[in-house]
Homo-oligomer: A and B are copies of this chain.
Amino acid sequence: MPAESTTVGRAMMKHDRASAALGMTVVVNEPGRAVVTMTVRDDMLNGFAITHGGFVFALADTAFALACNDSEYVTVAAGADISFLKSTTAGDVLTATALERAKSGRSGIYDVQVLDAAGATVAEFRGRSRRTPTPHAAP
């Protein structure tokens, strides 16, 4: 975790076995903004030898979760839309940047852009968050 990560983000990632198992690295973790990277592995490829959409989504979703958990209450994903713009394959390094776009009451909208190492857009993800009344567990 980067030096500038939030306390909540550090606790979330410490317990996030899924993101760890996928080899994700948190580069930035601030209230309303997060950057996470992941290198595509052989076991993330689908039957067409390109990155399975689920792993591109997973990377964006982790960045989204870090960006939207900026209060003392657990915030969850109510849903998301993703557009796949460029396929990738094993060895490609993907970077997901999540930014808060709008908030209204307990709901929020976050945009996550997934780029490859050359800066080309791999996917555009828009997440819909919902703040729950449950406080975060002590870190």
Chain A residues with a Cβ under 8 A of chain B:
11-22, 42-49, 52-55, 57-59, 61-62, 65, 74, 76-87, 101-102, 104, 107, 109, 111, 113, 121, 124, 126, 128
Contacts and interface: CB of A to CB of B under 8 A. Distances in A.
Nearest to A123: B79
A99 B96 CA distance: 20
23 contacts: A12-B47, A15-B47, A16-B45, A18-B45, A18-B46, A18-B55, A20-B43, A21-B43, A46-B65, A52-B62, A53-B61, A54-B58, A55-B58, A79-B81, A79-B83, A79-B128, A80-B81, A81-B81, A81-B82, A85-B104, A85-B107, A86-B104, A102-B124
Given A42-B17, A102-B121, A124-B109, A58 B52 contact: yes
A109 B121 CA distance: 11
